[in-house]
A and B are shown apart, each in its own frame.
Chain A
Amino acid sequence: MEAVIVEKVTKSFDEKLVLDRISFSVERGEFLAIVGPNGSGKTTLLRVIAGVLKPDFGRVEVRGSIGVVPQENLLLPWKKIGSNIELGLKFRRVPEEERRDKVRKMASFLGIEEYLDLYPWKVSGGIARKSAIARALVLDPDILLLDEPLTGLDISSRENLTESLTKLRGKITVILVTHSMEEVFTLADRVVMLTPRPARVASVFRTGEISERDLKDFLMG
C-alpha cells in the first residue's frame, strides 16, 4: 500500500520551471532515495512533499504523519539539544514528563544521550544531524523525509549515522534526497532518478538493478 503518491507535480519559481510533471509513489515501510545532479530540484520536491511548498500543478497525497530532517539541521541555537528534540512534542502540548521520557528514549536509540544538555553550537556536525533526526523521529512519524543526511559529515560520523538510519529500515517509510552514491546503495530500497533542471523522472529502479558506476555516470551527466 502506498504511503506517498506524487502525481504530475510541477513547480516554477519566477517563471523558471524547476519540477516538471514528477510522478512516483512510495510503498509503506519503503526506503526511497531521490537522486539527481546538484541543483536539479530535489530539495524543492521534498518541500512540496512536506507541504511547505504548494505545487503549481499536480498533487501530493501523503497517507500518515510526516517528520522532516532538513539539510541544514535547523536546530535552534538558543535551545539545548534536549529542548530542540522535544520542540515538536511541546508544540503538540505533550505533558513535560512524557516529553522528557520520549526524548531520553530517542536520544538513547540514536546514541546522543550525553549531549542533551549541550547547545547545538557545542556539538559536532554528526551529533547535530542526529539531533535533527531525533527531533523528527520523537514525533513518531509514519513518513520521514531526509535531505542529504550524510552531507558534510566526517567518515566516522557518516558510518555512525548510516548505522542509525539502517535501524529504521522496514519500521517507517523514508524518503531520502541525496546526490551521494553511498547513501543510495547503503540505505535505499528503490531509487527515483531526476534529470538536471527542470527535474523530470528519468528512471525508477530497485538498488540491485543498477551498478554504482552507472548511477555515478548519470549523476555526473
Chain B
Amino acid sequence: MSAIEDLRGWAVVISLSFIGWEALSLWNPRFIPDPAGVVIYLLSTDPRELLGNMAITISNSTQGFFLGSLLGIGLICLSYFSDLLRSSIRVLNTVVQSISVLVWTIIFVMVFGVLSFIPSVLVTAMVVLPVVLSNLITSMEAVDEKLLDLTFLLGASRKDELVDVILPSSLPYLASAARVGYGLALRISVVAEAFGSSGGIGFMIVHCYNLMDPKGVFAWSLFLVVLMIFVDKLVFKPLERYAMRWKL
C-alpha cells in the first residue's frame, strides 16, 4: 500500500470516528463529552502528569512484553530438543490462552498488593506469552523440510539447526507476534493498572471515573489510543518490515 493510500485510509477513519463521537456527545452530553472539549482537556493537562503516567504504562507493558516474549522464546528453544517438551508446551499454550485476564489480574493483585507494579507486568506477560508461543510454533512447522535436510547434510547439530535455521526463519513470525503482542501489552497493562496500581494511564482512567469526570476518562483513553498508534507506527511496523525484508 502506498503512503498516500495509507494517509487517505487514516483520514477516513479519523473523520468518521470524530463524526460518530460528536453525534454521540450530542445524544448524551452528560456522559459523552464532545471531541473538542476532550482535546482541550488533554492539552490543558500538566505535561508532567501526562508523561509520568505514560512512562509508567510504557514501563509496565514493556517489561511484561519482554518477560512474556523471552519466556516464549526460551520455551520454544527448549521444545526443539525434546518431543515431550514440545507437546507439553503446546498444551501449556492452550491452557494459558484460556485463562481470562481478569483471573490473572485478581490473582497477581492478591499476591503482590494493589500498589505494586508487578501485577501489571505479570498480567501483561501472561497475555503476551501465548501470542509469542502460537506464532513460534507455527513458524517452526513452516520451516522447509528440505532446508533442514540440507543443513543435516552440511553437518549441522540440533543446536546449529536451531540457531542458524529455525530462529532466523522465525524472525518474521516473531516480529508479527511482537507487533500484536505489544499492542495487547499496552491494552492489558492499563486494565491491570486500573485494578491495582499507583499510577499509569489505566490508573488515571479509573481515577477520573471515580471522580465522575467523563472528560478525563475520554482524554486519557484518547491519549492511550494515540500512544499505541505511535508505538506501532514508529517502532513495530519498521521492525516487522526489517524482519521480513527478504520476503518483500
Chain A residues near B (Cβ < 8 Å): 47, 50-52, 66, 68, 70, 72, 74, 76-79, 87-88, 90-92, 119-121, 135, 139
Question: What is the CA–CA distance of A74 and B150 in the complex, to the nearest angstrom?
Answer: 8
Residue of B nearest to A87 (CB): B154
Decide: A88 near B146, CB < 8 A? Known: A76-B168, A78-B168, A78-B246. no
User: Which residues of B (135-171) have their CB < 8 Å from a CB of A?
Assistant: 144, 146-147, 149-157, 160, 164-165, 168-169, 171
Chain B residues near A (Cβ < 8 Å): 144, 146-147, 149-157, 160, 164-165, 168-169, 171, 246-247
Decide: A92 near B153, CB < 8 A? Known: A77-B246, A78-B171, A121-B246. no
Q: Tell whether, in the assembled complex, residue B153 and residue A68 are in contact, meaning their CB atoms are under 8 Å apart.
A: yes
For A77, the chain B residues whose CB sits under 8 A away are 246-247
Residue of B nearest to A77 (CB): B246
Question: What is the CA–CA distance of A70 and B151 in the complex, to the nearest angstrom?
Answer: 12
Residue of B nearest to A78 (CB): B168
- Which of B153, B165, B247 counts the most A-chain CB atoms under 10 A from its CB? B153
Decide: A50 near B246, CB < 8 A? Known: A76-B165, A78-B171. no
- Which of A68, A88, A91 counts the most B-chain CB atoms under 10 A from its CB? A91
Question: What is the CA–CA distance of A79 and B150 in the complex, to the nearest angstrom?
Answer: 15
29 A–B contacts, CB within 8 A, in A order: A47-B149, A50-B153, A52-B152, A66-B153, A68-B153, A70-B150, A72-B146, A74-B144, A74-B146, A74-B147, A76-B164, A78-B169, A78-B171, A78-B246, A79-B164, A87-B151, A87-B164, A88-B154, A88-B155, A90-B164, A91-B151, A91-B154, A91-B156, A91-B157, A91-B160, A92-B155, A119-B246, A135-B154, A139-B154
Distance (whole angstroms) from the CB of A21 to the closest CB of chain B = 24
Distance (whole angstroms) from the CB of B93 to the closest CB of chain A = 26
Q: Tell whether, in the assembled complex, residue A91 and residue B168 are in contact, meaning their CB atoms are under 8 Å apart.
A: no
Residue of B nearest to A73 (CB): B150
Question: What is the CA–CA distance of A72 and B150 in the complex, to the nearest angstrom?
Answer: 11
Question: What is the CA–CA distance of A104 and B157 in the complex, to the nearest angstrom?
Answer: 25
Q: Tell whether, in the assembled complex, residue A51 and residue B164 are in contact, meaning their CB atoms are under 8 Å apart.
A: no
Residue of B nearest to A68 (CB): B153
Distance (whole angstroms) from the CB of B206 to the closest CB of chain A = 45
Question: What is the CA–CA distance of A217 and B144 in the complex, to the nearest angstrom?
Answer: 36
Question: What is the CA–CA distance of A74 and B246 in the complex, to the nearest angstrom?
Answer: 14
New A-B pairs, 15, CB < 8 Å, besides A52-B153, A68-B150, A139-B154: A74-B144, A74-B147, A78-B169, A78-B246, A79-B168, A87-B154, A87-B164, A90-B160, A91-B151, A91-B154, A91-B156, A91-B157, A91-B160, A121-B246, A135-B154
Choice from B146, B151, B153 contacting A51 with Cβ under 8 Å: B153
Residue of A nearest to B165 (CB): A76
Question: What is the CA–CA distance of A78 and B169 in the complex, to the nearest angstrom?
Answer: 8
Question: What is the CA–CA distance of A161 and B221 in the complex, to the nearest angstrom?
Answer: 63
Distance (whole angstroms) from the CB of A147 to the closest CB of chain B = 11
Residue of A nearest to B155 (CB): A91
Question: What is the CA–CA distance of A51 and B153 in the complex, to the nearest angstrom?
Answer: 8
Question: What is the CA–CA distance of A68 and B168 in the complex, to the nearest angstrom?
Answer: 22
Residue of B nearest to A74 (CB): B150
For B152, the chain A residues whose CB sits under 8 A away are 52
Distance (whole angstroms) from the CB of A127 to the closest CB of chain B = 16
Question: What is the CA–CA distance of A77 and B169 in the complex, to the nearest angstrom?
Answer: 9
Distance (whole angstroms) from the CB of A121 to the closest CB of chain B = 5
Question: What is the CA–CA distance of A209 and B242 in the complex, to the nearest angstrom?
Answer: 55
For B150, the chain A residues whose CB sits under 8 A away are 68, 70, 74
Question: What is the CA–CA distance of A104 and B21 in the complex, to the nearest angstrom?
Answer: 65
Choice from B146, B165, B169, B247 contacting A70 with Cβ under 8 Å: B146
Question: What is the CA–CA distance of A47 and B153 in the complex, to the nearest angstrom?
Answer: 11
Residue of A nearest to B161 (CB): A91
Question: What is the CA–CA distance of A89 and B104 in the complex, to the nearest angstrom?
Answer: 48
For A91, the chain B residues whose CB sits under 8 A away are 151, 154-157, 160
Residue of B nearest to A83 (CB): B164
- Which of B151, B154, B169, B247 counts the most A-chain CB atoms under 10 A from its CB? B154
